[in-house]
Amino acid sequence: MLILPGADGARPEELMPQARVVGTDGAVYLLYPADAPAVRAATHAQDGELPAVLELTDVAPVAVPHRIRGRARVSGWLTSAPGIAEAGHMMLRLEVGEVYLDDLWGDASVSPAEFAEALPDPLTAYETELLQHLAAAHDEQVQGLNGLLGDRAGVRRVAPLALDRFGLRVRCRDTAGRFFDARFDFPEPVADVHGLRRAMRTLFDTP
């Protein structure tokens, strides 16, 4: 959701872009209907730019307790980018000033240069489908991961939580009803889905 001055009274759903993408210039491009409050605010902004914050929430695609995996705030300056979107829509350009992340791995601030140079994880486009497939079709193997938790005994349930090129994170529930996360790193980063299949077979076959 986009937070910006000049959009008072707008409903939360009106401030959610229909699509977003990071451009080659490191800016975030947000697609809105042409009459959206964010478009009106950016169009009438003084000096042609408007301070704004894009808030993003990452929710696990499988049913687990405490499903929010992370949050991000991208702050910067918003301008209109006419001529890019189809008729009836407007593309807005958010020039990044700072990015703040708070997720399962910790929290950190990211500079505009670091953000522009970052590459998406090769599994990003497939993560939702892969996690749901693990939960639905490979539950026995997923439950078998509790044998790799070492001294952490008494695990009753294991659910896949997050997946990237470096490994798999699961959420565990013990016999006392408490939850904790565990991460299983792959022997080496995977480059694609084919590499992931090999890495997952190795993980599931670990004695």
pLDDT at 117: 95
Mark whether 167 and 135 lie in a shared domain: yes
Mark whether 135 and 196 lie in a shared domain: yes
Q: Stretch 22-45: mean pLDDT, rounded?
A: 94
- pLDDT band for position 83 (cuts 50, 70, 90): very high
Task: Please write the tens of the pLDDT for every residue from 97-146.
Answer: 999 999 988 999 999 999 999 999 999 999 999 999 999 999 999 999 98
- Domain final residue, candidates 117, 151, 182: 117
Q: Structural domain tally of the chain?
A: 2
Mark whether 97 and 138 lie in a shared domain: no
- Domain final residue, candidates 117, 144, 162: 117
pLDDT at 154: 75
**Phi-psi region for residue 6, left (φ > 0), alpha (ψ -120 to 50) or beta?**
left
Task: Please write the tens of the pLDDT for every residue from 36-80.
Answer: 999 999 988 867 679 999 999 999 999 999 999 999 999 999 999
Say yes or no to pLDDT of 153 above 80. Answer: no
Mark whether 61 and 147 lie in a shared domain: no
Could you please report the per-residue DSSP string of 177-205?
S-EEEEEEE-SS---SHHHHHHHHHHHHT
What pTM, to 2 d.p., does this model score? 0.88
Domain that holds residue 110: 2-117
- Domain final residue, candidates 91, 117, 143: 117
How far apart CA 75 and CA 95 sit, in angstroms, is: 8
Mark whether 57 and 154 lie in a shared domain: no
> 155-185 b/e with 16+ CB inside 10 Å = b?
bebbbbbbbbbbbbbbbbbeeeeeeeebebe
Mark whether 139 and 176 lie in a shared domain: yes
